[in-house]
Amino acid sequence: MAIKILIKRSVGQEVAQVVRPLLIELRAHAMQQPGYISGETLKCIDRPGEYLVISTWQSLDEWNKWLELQERKILEDKIDSITGSTTEYSAYVQLGN
């Protein structure tokens, strides 16, 4: 069953240009992982600097494998270090009809 992962980050304007290439690199790595289906990045209208990534995976197990990969952790640590905040993750599954 496919799942959606909501990834929330706070990125100040002063570091947005530094963080952007790291986010692109992170997305490129994710796209190569087994189970990755799609992703989109949204910028909050009401709260400047708040970004939300909606990532779709074939299963929670495949997401967790990606979450534990060292290359992902290194990029995430760089992003969190630059932004001064911790990335938040939430997993969701679609309700049945």
Map out the domains of the chain as residue ranges: 3-93
One pLDDT digit (tens) per residue for the chain, 97 residues: 899 999 999 988 888 889 889 989 999 999 999 999 999 999 899 988 899 999 999 999 999 999 999 999 999 999 999 999 999 999 999 887 5
Quick one: pLDDT at residue 97?
52
Quick one: pLDDT at residue 65?
97
**What strand order describes the sheet that includes 50-57?**
36-43, 50-57, 3-10, 88-93
Q: What are the φ/ψ torsions at residue 69 (nearest 5 degrees)?
A: -65, 135
Quick one: pLDDT at residue 92?
97
Quick one: pLDDT at residue 58?
97
CATH architecture, range 3-93: 2-Layer Sandwich (3.30)
